[in-house]
Structure 1
């Protein structure tokens, strides 16, 4: 792993949250810098994001409250096979298989997780499929969990839409271009706990924190402890350690944005492996808010993106793209399509 001259840039997006207080030239400069970062890195740290420190602190406390429960209790809220809601036990998923890359042991990602998201009932006027907008399974055994998570989730929803406005400018699109593609967006948040599974006394070396993968939707907002573990693959095939800066949230692009831009903007490959000290994993927490877009939105190349003779991705809906990736994550079935990201991981160094 080589960390020379690699950094995830930090950018202040206050001008997109308080547009009247800033000039058009300030927003234009931020949009230009976002375009550069999304082309070259695919990860960006944002400050001026507007999410209160108290909300972030309460989110961390909520994760502590739930993940401290006995494993048997947590499993009472386990995720059903067809949903993306509830508890996932350690070693029940393999993120690398979302790219069709098997690990030494098929399901060996040692993190545990709890996922919540928007429900079909949130859009009562629409006939939305439960497969994409499933009901939540809030854990009553952790009474502080739901209110704290809901507060953060609501502010992350606002931030995602602020970022979409900035991305629209950065891509040189007409104002509101994405509005009809995100007005009933699939939005989910996966809260992760990286620690030895209950009953394990020592790290075996055969487990993976979270295998190499890309995120599936438009963008991800990541809150995480300042504990090593997150690694990003650069364009030269080298892995680099990344930790959030003070007060910053990490933002990375997902597959939908990469497909929309024909890889002008990259869906950044990343993985997680917290440090192991004397056979013990240094505990790490994170919460990834996935902003995926409408289930029926078609991902096809954006206007002005392709050069003459250049070939983009075939059109696919948001829901179809997610389903293709999730099959590998949860069942070990490799995606049927050849994925460009798979070749990048295969060629990467350790």
Structure 2
């Protein structure tokens, strides 16, 4: 696939049921070229998305002191509320212009991964919050599994290769609010960064701003249409594939002057490997012209903690 000079061409996840190999080539080439893909027909109900967006707006509209009741001091932002001005992108010195809420996987009592994954926190002030976001989490999980199957095919692995790698994985659904931006702000809504996880699925925001850095060093907008997802490769999968699938640098820039007074909301789902999964370079991704760039294996949990320390959340 040749990069479209202006945008990413959407691929339909419904095609994976009709012609899984063709879908695999389409989305795999998009990931290889861009590190991103725009995915249509992803199966997440629009009614659920609309309900989740409304609840996100309702929560972030609560008074600051109410929201801060759900901030876990020393919790690394793993669950609940993270206040404005907390997260700093790797290698940056100015904080991002956002506040957010994290929902993780609900584990049964006594689960082996309970030591790695905190219990969820639920606000009392928004009715139906827990039920809505657990439903959305499950829908993202399902869509993500279908995309990982296509990636496995693209890498000439067994289609079910990733099933066990992400089983009960430490995935996180993040609700983000980017408040209106002051005219003299020295920061941007989200500074240039790469995602830590396996793949990220993002429900498009009404307000523009998401951009990726292409292979020629140019910033290009990522603009999913209504009902489409932006999906990108994270650092863990980049490491596993020896950079064959790149974790592309991206950012959320500040709005044009006429839109500075408007908030921006988005809901990314960070799909993670299970905590004990050993990220070890796939032999299929090593060759005489492409030596192993990551000879030292590392577990997904160790890698996550290393990266969270770098961005000030641990």
State TM-score, norm by structure 2.
Answer: 0.92
Name the CA distance, whole Å, in 1 between partners of 2:264 and 2:39.
Answer: 21
- Alpha-carbon deviation of 1:276? 4.4
Describe the SS at the equivalent of 1:157. helix
Two-structure CA RMSD over aligned residues (Å): 2.1
- Alpha-carbon deviation of 1:299? 0.8
Describe the SS at the equivalent of 2:206. coil
Indicate conservation of the 8 Å contact 2:7/2:221, yes or no: no
What is the match of residue 173 of structure 1?
Answer: 157
Name the CA distance, whole Å, in 2 between partners of 1:152 and 1:284.
Answer: 20
1:11-22 equivalences under 5 Å are 11-16=11-16, 19=17, 22=18
What is the match of residue 105 of structure 2?
Answer: 118
Describe the SS at the equivalent of 1:34. helix
Indicate conservation of the 8 Å contact 1:115/1:190, yes or no: yes
1:316 aligns with 2:298: yes
Indicate conservation of the 8 Å contact 1:66/1:145, yes or no: no
Name the CA distance, whole Å, in 1 between partners of 2:44 and 2:28.
Answer: 23
Name the CA distance, whole Å, in 1 between partners of 2:143 and 2:236.
Answer: 18
Which residue among 187, 192, 195 is the counterpart of 1:207? 187
What is the match of residue 7 of structure 2?
Answer: 7
Name the CA distance, whole Å, in 1 between partners of 2:83 and 2:110.
Answer: 35
1:94-152 per-residue CA deviation (whole Å, 9 max, x = no partner) reads 12x2xxx123x3xx211110111014xx154642243x311111111122322222221
Name the CA distance, whole Å, in 2 between partners of 1:162 and 1:175.
Answer: 10
What is the match of residue 80 of structure 2?
Answer: 86
What is the match of residue 63 of structure 2?
Answer: 70
What are the ranges of 5 or more consecutive residues in structure 2 without an aligned counterpart? Answer: none
1:1-350 equivalences under 5 Å are 5-16=5-16, 19=17, 22=18, 26-83=19-76, 84-95=78-89, 97=90, 101-103=91-93, 105=94, 108-119=95-106, 122-124=107-109, 126-130=111-115, 132-196=116-180, 202-277=182-257, 280-308=260-288, 310-313=291-294, 314-330=296-312
Indicate conservation of the 8 Å contact 1:86/1:138, yes or no: yes
What are the ranges of 5 or more consecutive residues in structure 1 without an aligned counterpart? Answer: 334-350
Indicate conservation of the 8 Å contact 1:196/1:203, yes or no: no
Indicate conservation of the 8 Å contact 1:123/1:184, yes or no: no
- Alpha-carbon deviation of 1:304? 1.4
What is the match of residue 340 of structure 1?
Answer: none
Name the CA distance, whole Å, in 2 between partners of 1:86 and 1:146.
Answer: 12
State TM-score, norm by structure 1.
Answer: 0.83
1:155-212 per-residue CA deviation (whole Å, 9 max, x = no partner) reads 1111111111111111110232222211121111111011148xxxx44321221111
